[in-house]
Structure 1
Amino acid sequence: MATSNATIETTEGARYLRRLCKHWSHKFAVTFDDTHGEVPFSDEARLTLEATDTTLHLQLTHVDAEALPALQQVVVDHLQRFAGDTVLTVAWA
């Protein structure tokens, strides 16, 4: 499994987590509360989210390391859409 992580500095982490999880719950078997979320995209890929008062931490796993960048972009595009005019800085490592 290939894994990448990103931490976004934001006081809106819990709100973004809820919105993203609710959005994808129509398509995937998502579980979440105010501070933790799991989005199983497939048997091959999963997004885990952790929100604190000042950050939103993302962990993305995929069986194929070459598929991670495209999935990372999907996650960032959705988060940015939910953030509206606020520009989020997301650096995957």
Structure 2
Amino acid sequence: MFHTKGTVKTAHAAKYLQQLCKHFAHKVEVSYSMTEADVAFPMGPCKMRATDDELQFHASALKAEGIERIKGIIINHLDRFAWRETISYDWQDFNDAD
């Protein structure tokens, strides 16, 4: 199993989490609250968490390509939603063999 943990520093983490979830819910199963979410991407699940200054992601997939696809989807959408600020992503990829 392959995994990634990602973080984005932003004062608008809860707002972006909700925007992402509302958008993703048009295509995949999503459950979320103001600060936590579970998204069932076809390639694997992704948990999201919003703190006061950070948006966190933890995703899993059977293949490394699935992790790259999940990261791409998140980056593509979050960049559009957060166009008023410069977003910097910090990703840490690992697998069960590590």
> What TM-score does the superposition give when structure 2 sets the normalisation length?
0.87
Q: Which residue does 1:65 correspond to in 2?
A: 64
| Larger displacement relative to structure 2 (16-25 or 60-69) | 60-69
When you count strand as a share of all residues, which structure comes out higher?
A: 2
Give RMSD over aligned pairs: 1.1
Unmatched runs of 5 consecutive residues or more in structure 2: 93-98
Q: Which residue does 1:38 correspond to in 2?
A: 38
Q: Which residue does 2:80 correspond to in 1?
A: 81
Q: Which residue does 2:55 correspond to in 1?
A: 56
Partners of 2:24 and 2:66 lie apart in 1 by 19
Deviation string for 1:44-73 (max 9, x for gaps)?
411110001111101121111233223211
Deviation string for 1:3-62 (max 9, x for gaps)?
1011111110000000000001111110001110111012x4111100011111011211
Q: Which residue does 1:15 correspond to in 2?
A: 15
Unmatched runs of 5 consecutive residues or more in structure 1: none
Structure 1 consecutive aligned stretches of length 4 or more whose deviation exceeds 2 Å: none
Partners of 1:77 and 1:62 lie apart in 2 by 19
Partners of 1:51 and 1:79 lie apart in 2 by 13
How many pairs align? 92
> What TM-score does the superposition give when structure 1 sets the normalisation length?
0.91
